Chains A and B, each alone.
Chain A
Amino acid sequence: GAGVSQSPSNKVTEKGKDVELRCDPISGHTALYWYRQRLGQGLEFLIYFQGNSAPDKSGLPSDRFSAERTGESVSTLTIQRTQQEDSAVYLCASSSDTGEQYFGPGTRLTVT
């Protein structure tokens, strides 16, 4: 079936604007993850959703970041009042109960 998809692939926004990033996981995957990858760096865990459990938000860097997930489908990561340090690639992944994560292509966010 189809893999994880993310939109938009690229987003350029002005400092102070809000942005929404979308992730469509693999159908049937119960877990969904968001990561941030700054240029030349590793993956920074942001948040994950698992079934109907409360999401683990422990990686969100500030209250400007939030995420929602509708059931076991689409998720939206929202960044309010964007700052230049938010510029990064935002990666989404999903997994079944095996824990093996399948990654989307990412959204490259540039804050000017």
Chain B
Amino acid sequence: AQSVTQPDIHITVSEGASLELRCNYSYGATPYLFWYVQSPGQGLQLLLKYFSGDTLVQGIKGFEAEFKRSQSSFNLRKPSVHWSDAAEYFCAVANTGGFKTIFGAGTRLFVKA
């Protein structure tokens, strides 16, 4: 069965510092992987996705993520965090074809000045 683990419930970083949010998944085949962001009072928005090919994927708002099959990980990174990045981030895994999608519990990002 698919599962997603986001080990960090919340993370605090200083504005301008780099960010890495961890995500580990469990799936028997090559998964479809996603990162979504949920800002306060707003809906969920897709940041980036991985289906196949290049294991380093670029997303919106300067985010990137790297698929590492050997570690079953899909960590999200950003070189320089902005105060507007404060939000809840969800990693998700879907079966081949991308339909049944399981979300992680989320990591809440706080940005301090």
Contact = CB atoms under 8 A, between A and B. Distances in A.
Interface string B72-98: 000000000000000000100010011
A53 to B, nearest CB: 9
Contacts of B94: 99
A95 interface: yes
B65 to A, nearest CB: 14
Contacts of B104: 42
Contact of B102 (A45, A91, A95, A103): A45
B49 A43 contact: no
Given A91-B44, A100-B49, A105-B43, A45 B103 contact: yes
- Chain A interface size band reads 20 to 34
A101 interface: yes
A98 B103 contact: no
A99 B103 contact: no
A104 B44 CA distance: 8
Interface of A: 31, 33, 35, 41-45, 48, 50, 56, 58, 91, 93, 95, 97-106
Closest 10 CB pairs of A and B: A99-B98, A43-B103, A42-B105, A103-B44, A42-B106, A103-B43, A42-B103, A105-B43, A99-B32, A50-B99
6 contacts: A48-B101, A95-B98, A95-B99, A98-B98, A99-B97, A100-B46
